Amino acid sequence: MTAPSKPRSPVRRRVIQAAAASAALTTLGFPAIVRAQSKRLKVGVLLPRSGYQGFIGQSCQKGADLAPGVIKQMLGVDVELMNADTETNVDVARTRAERLIQEGANVLVGAFDSGQTVAIAQVAEQRGTPLVINIAAAPQITEQGYKFVFRNFQTARDIVGNGLRLTGDLFHATNTVPRTAVFMHVNDTFGTAVSRGIAAAMPHMTQLPFKIVDTISYDPAARDLTVEVSKAKASNADFLMLVCRLNDAIALRREMVKQRWNPMGIISPGSPGMYEEQYFKTLGKFSEYSISNVPWYNPRAELTHVVEKAFQKQNPGEKFPFHGLNVGFTFEAIMIAADAFKRAGSTDPKTLADAIRQTNIPRKMMLGAPIKFNAKGQVEGIGSACVQNLKGLPTVVLPADAATAKPVFPAPYYKA
């Protein structure tokens, strides 16, 4: 005689129990036993896709989205993306990083903003999971002695240095010798940091023919820049050196037109704003000839064509040059991880980190030297481009070997 069998619970209840159990295991942290044996690289992509940096975060995400396909084609590596939105918030960035690692991310990529990146970097370091930074410029990030944090982006110092050097190259290439500049900058965290960098770098840039005759800071949220532009115009400077964001750049350019101030040109030594799509859309012909010296992609590189093709396939309505910077660095960050995974043949975090440290990728998309990390986890020799707004698109005009057009300086409407 057999004991009466225990009544079985209804199927629905069992399903719910199983789901709850698996959810609990996930929540409580199931040990990643088979982590190192995976044949697929799980990349946790952390980007600010909402909040006030949402627009740029979404632009970076486009680079991540196309990466698995292109990398499979290039390296034969299977990449699985695990996307997380940091909501432009350091607290969220930290908890999302924890979540991704717990869910099995082998490597993290992100996070555009320095504050959020540092929050993620600490989690990565604590948990021993490699983090490849796509965009974040605070120099201190790679000065912390981290062992699992790698950056393929210029530091703020490099951006300013390269930006000023390119300004000199521009004058050389156009046989112009402006003697004076008026420097205008936003007074937010970014603008203040860059302006300080410029003040520190200028004395060492003896090759630059000009001196700054006036420095004018302004609020990035200011709707009316009449006074600031009047003051800049009154300085009689040959050209305007501008560190801006998008909205203020538009307001400032409009005010310049209104006040009929036509300096030789507007040159940004390293800030967003003037190469962004909205700047073109809003200003139309007045967006032309503005110059931004920024880290940029090499439009002549073979990999750029491959990425651009994939981008256009996924985003048929978008223009690649407006996303190239964000797409390029995000794609390269994932490519670095995939390349290391291919060489290491393992997703073991330490092995993967060691492999990333040995990276040597000459065939790249962004300007500059091959991707190689120094002892601090920083790629050195990342290049900037002199990007001028020509025919409605941001166009590389310098360095000459990457240029697709010649620089136009002074701007045509300039009258001495």
Partner 1 sequence: MSAQRRAQVLLAILAVALIVLPFVSGSYVLSVATLILFFAFTGQAWNVMMGFAGQLSLGHSLYVGLGAYAAAGLFFHYGIGPWAGVWLAIALCVVAGAVIGFLAFRFGISGVYFALLTIAFAEFTRIGFDHITWLGGAAGLFIKVEQRDTWDLLNLRGTPKMFYFVMLALAAGAFAFCTWLLRSRAGYYWQAIREDEDAAQALGINTFRWKMLAVVISAAMTGVAGVFYAFYYNNLFPEQTYHISRSIEIILGPIIGGLGTLFGPILGAAVLTILADSITEIMAAAGIEVPGVKQVFYGLCLLVVIMFLPNGIWPAIARRLGLKDK
The residues that touch partner 1, with contacts defined as CB under 8 A, are 27-29, 49-50, 54, 57-58, 83, 85, 87, 90-92, 94-96, 98-99, 101-102, 114-115, 118-119, 121-123, 125-127, 138, 140, 143-147, 156, 187-193, 196
Q: Give whichever of 61 and 384 is closer to partner 1, judged by the CB atom.
A: 61
Which residues lie below 8 Å from residue 187, measured CB to CB, with a gap of 6+?
217, 218, 219, 220
Burial category of 17 from C-beta neighbours within 10 Å (exposed 0-12, middle 13-18, buried 19 and up): exposed
CB of 230 to partner 1, least distance (A): 23
Burial category of 287 from C-beta neighbours within 10 Å (exposed 0-12, middle 13-18, buried 19 and up): buried
For residues 366 and 134, give the distance between their C-alpha atoms in angstroms, rounded to a whole number.
12
Q: Give whichever of 201 and 361 is closer to partner 1, judged by the CB atom.
A: 201
Please state the separation of Cα 310 from the chain's center in Å.
19
CB of 57 to partner 1, least distance (A): 7
CB of 155 to partner 1, least distance (A): 11
What are all long-range contacts of 27-36, with beta carbons under 8 Å and residues at least 24 apart?
29/102, 32/104, 35/104, 35/106, 35/347, 35/348, 36/346, 36/347, 36/348, 36/351
CB of 414 to partner 1, least distance (A): 33
In 345-411, alpha helices (H): 349-357
Q: Give whichever of 137 and 283 is closer to partner 1, judged by the CB atom.
A: 137
Q: Give whichever of 200 and 227 is closer to partner 1, judged by the CB atom.
A: 200
Q: Give whichever of 77 and 121 is closer to partner 1, judged by the CB atom.
A: 121
Q: Give whichever of 156 and 344 is closer to partner 1, judged by the CB atom.
A: 156
CB of 164 to partner 1, least distance (A): 18
Which residues lie below 8 Å from residue 235, measured CB to CB, with a gap of 6+?
180, 182, 213, 214
Q: Give whichever of 57 and 273 is closer to partner 1, judged by the CB atom.
A: 57
CB of 89 to partner 1, least distance (A): 8
The amino acid occupying position 313 is K
Tell me the pairing of strands 384-390 and 393-398.
antiparallel
CB of 91 to partner 1, least distance (A): 6
CB of 12 to partner 1, least distance (A): 18
For residues 150 and 376, give the distance between their C-alpha atoms in angstroms, rounded to a whole number.
8
* Termini Cα distance of the chain: 109
CB of 369 to partner 1, least distance (A): 25
Q: Give whichever of 91 and 224 is closer to partner 1, judged by the CB atom.
A: 91
For residues 299 and 280, give the distance between their C-alpha atoms in angstroms, rounded to a whole number.
20
Q: Give whichever of 114 and 152 is closer to partner 1, judged by the CB atom.
A: 114
Quick one: which of 209, 211, 204, 218 has its CA closest to 182? 211
Cα diameter, the chain: 109
